[in-house]
A and B are shown apart, each in its own frame.
Chain A
Amino acid sequence: MFRLLKTESFKLSNKLKSWLGPLLIMVLVLIAFPLSIDISQYDLEKFYFSIIVVSLLMTSFVATEGMFEEDFEDGSLEQEFLIEKDFYKLVLSKIIVYVCLIGIPIAFIGALFSFANGVAIGSFAKVFLLLILSNLLLFNLFAFGNALSINKGAMLGVLSSLPLALPVIILLGRAIRSIQFGDGFSSIIALMFGLGLILSAMMPLIISAALKTHID
């Protein structure tokens, strides 16, 4: 597992486009969206979270697009299958590395922009935590979509898994309201954390089976 974590983080950190692209998209949307609509500072404070939710969905979507495609194309998946006999550890490692190298910076950028747009400094940690957990859930779901259609263009699969992301968006909306009105935040975070753990344990099993079907 440590070998895989080391390998995957080395690979991702050397693919500038894969990790920098989503971060730049996040920054671009967070800057461009408020500038492009005519709303007052007061309204912006209210609506800014919605912008973050949409950017988060978009960046997770882009970040996971090539998660397995390259390994499938160059034969690395077959090599990994010979070593590990399945893909559970590989998938888990990839999701962990993606969350650490892309998800956490995205969450930080999101929290920073929230603060810059009038959200109280006291809520910075809450927003940061919320965005990390959302990324964990979204990366799991989109990784599944990516694995489904790996030989037909990964974007198609990621698109097909988009409906699965809707409950995450609803939860995220609830959590944001709880930050704004200061009520029930911890229970929603606990729910998201639990869901994150379950998805992180189960999704690699399903994705592993999908990948095995593709290389068979």
Chain B
Amino acid sequence: MTLVSAQNITYSINENKLFHNLSFGVNSGEGLHIKGGNGSGKSTLLRIILGITTPTKGLIKRCSEDLKISYLGHKNAIKNYLTPIENLELLFNDVEIKIAYEWLYKFNLSHVQDELAASLSFGQQKKLALIRVLAQSPELIVLDEPFVGLDQTAADQLNHFLEEQLSEGVGLIFTSHINPKISCKVLDLEAKNV
């Protein structure tokens, strides 16, 4: 099943076309890696897919209006004055929070779960933001540079978790400068092909 598809997406800023007539789709259990240099429009394309930014031309189609999407952008959406547990409790109900606790353990954050998020390192905050995304049991995961700030162990872990999500039928769209160890389609914004 195609979760989301882009048809002839064009986006211009001040009459400069960032990208032109892009078309692609992501099915259940399929990954799409969006590649490109700085300023090539990777993040903008993600925001267009999510419906946050409106494209100059073209259409984004979702399989359902209720498609459950989890997103992590450049901003972590972490409240610094709350602990990791409290940050997760803001989002999850009593059942979901148990899944979030398991993710805290998997990402090795259990020992800092009662400290203020402000005292966590950048990498730990990133992990916490990733837990928010993964514990939501989404149908489509959208990540903007998920590997930035993670050490090699955490990056390997994330690769493994994302592979797991793909095998469970979750769709994945992400941008990354590095080549991740995930088998997926690649959309190169500079070469303009999939």
On whether the beta carbons of A78 and B79 are closer than 8 Å, the reply is no
Residues of A near B77 (CB, < 8 A) are: 74-76, 78-79
On whether the beta carbons of B76 and A14 are closer than 8 Å, the reply is no
The reply on B81 being an interface residue by CB < 8 A is yes
- Contacts A81-B52, A82-B69, A216-B52; A10 near B75 (Cβ below 8 A): no
B residues 33-86 near A (Cβ < 8 Å) are 50-54, 69, 71, 73-82, 86
The reply on A215 being an interface residue by CB < 8 A is yes
Residues of A near B13 (CB, < 8 A) are: none
Q: Provide the A1-44 mask, 1 if CB < 8 A to any CB of B, else 0.
A: 00000010011001100000000000000000000000000000
Count class of interface residues, chain A? 10 to 19
A residues 32-80 near B (Cβ < 8 Å) are 70, 73-76, 78-79
The reply on B90 being an interface residue by CB < 8 A is yes
Residue of B nearest to A11 (CB): B79
On whether the beta carbons of A79 and B81 are closer than 8 Å, the reply is no
On whether the beta carbons of A74 and B79 are closer than 8 Å, the reply is yes
Residues of A near B54 (CB, < 8 A) are: 216
On whether the beta carbons of B81 and A15 are closer than 8 Å, the reply is yes
Count class of interface residues, chain B? 20 to 34
Q: How far is it, in angstroms, between the C-alpha of A75 and the C-alpha of B125 when the chains are bound?
A: 13
CB proximity of A15 to chain B, nearest CB, Å: 6
- Contacts A78-B52, A78-B77, A79-B77; A14 near B82 (Cβ below 8 A): yes
- Contacts A7-B90, A14-B86, A216-B52; A74 near B76 (Cβ below 8 A): yes
Residue of A nearest to B74 (CB): A75
Residues of B near A10 (CB, < 8 A) are: 86, 89-90
Q: How far is it, in angstroms, between the C-alpha of A140 and the C-alpha of B53 when the chains are bound?
A: 27
Residues of B near A85 (CB, < 8 A) are: 51
Residue of B nearest to A79 (CB): B77
CB proximity of A214 to chain B, nearest CB, Å: 11
Q: How far is it, in angstroms, between the C-alpha of A7 and the C-alpha of B87 when the chains are bound?
A: 10
Residues of A near B51 (CB, < 8 A) are: 81-82, 85
On whether the beta carbons of A78 and B71 are closer than 8 Å, the reply is yes
On whether the beta carbons of B90 and A75 are closer than 8 Å, the reply is no
A residues 171-186 near B (Cβ < 8 Å) are none
Residues of A near B76 (CB, < 8 A) are: 74-75
CB proximity of B18 to chain A, nearest CB, Å: 15
Residues of A near B81 (CB, < 8 A) are: 14-15
Q: How far is it, in angstroms, between the C-alpha of A215 and the C-alpha of B75 when the chains are bound?
A: 12
A11, A73, A75: the one contacting B73 at CB < 8 Å is: A75
Closest 10 CB pairs of A and B: A75-B75, A75-B77, A76-B77, A79-B77, A7-B90, A74-B77, A74-B75, A216-B53, A75-B73, A82-B71
- A interface, CB within 8 angstroms of B: 7, 10-11, 14-15, 70, 73-76, 78-79, 81-82, 85, 215-216
- B interface, CB within 8 angstroms of A: 50-54, 69, 71, 73-82, 86, 89-90
